[in-house]
Amino acid sequence: MTVAQAAKELGMTPSGLRTAITEGRLRRTLLHARTSLIAREDLERYRREHLGKRGKRMQPEDALTEQQRKQRAYQRAYYLRRKAARTQQPATEPAE
């Protein structure tokens, strides 16, 4: 199917789908110089793996530098502290 048809089926814009193709998340087959076709199997794989997920995908731990590992560990600890603070109930004093 064409990029426009695939985008309509996924509920995306054609430019968003072209971005996914450019970034390598979706494969295409060139029919002519300006016409791209997307296989149904690739479209379904993209729907399962990527659609509905926002933001940049995290790299695996072994692909990170030492500084990036330290930063990720700091961020995890920060978010865990924030989550713990949200779940704790404040101590209330009995009303007189």
Q: Kindly state whether residues 8 and 41 are assigned to the same domain.
A: yes
For residue 8, being part of any structural domain is answered with yes
Question: 26 by DSSP, 3-state: which?
Answer: coil
For residue 41, being part of any structural domain is answered with yes
What is the per-residue pLDDT across 12-71, written as a single tens digit (0 to 9) for each?
A: 899 999 998 898 888 888 888 788 899 999 999 988 887 777 777 778 888 889 999 999
Q: Kindly state whether residues 62 and 41 are assigned to the same domain.
A: no
pLDDT reported for residue 8: 92
Q: Kindly state whether residues 36 and 74 are assigned to the same domain.
A: no
For residue 96, being part of any structural domain is answered with no
pLDDT reported for residue 60: 83
Q: Kindly state whether residues 12 and 41 are assigned to the same domain.
A: yes
Average of per-residue pLDDT across 78-82: 95
pLDDT band at 91 (very low <50, low <70, confident <90, very high): low
Q: Who contacts 35 (Cβ-Cβ below 8 Å, separation ≥6)?
A: 2
- Spatial separation of the C-alpha atoms in residues 37 and 4, rounded to whole Å: 10
Q: Kindly state whether residues 44 and 19 are assigned to the same domain.
A: yes
For residue 94, being part of any structural domain is answered with no
Longest dimension (CA), the chain: 81
Total domains in the chain come to 2
pLDDT reported for residue 24: 87
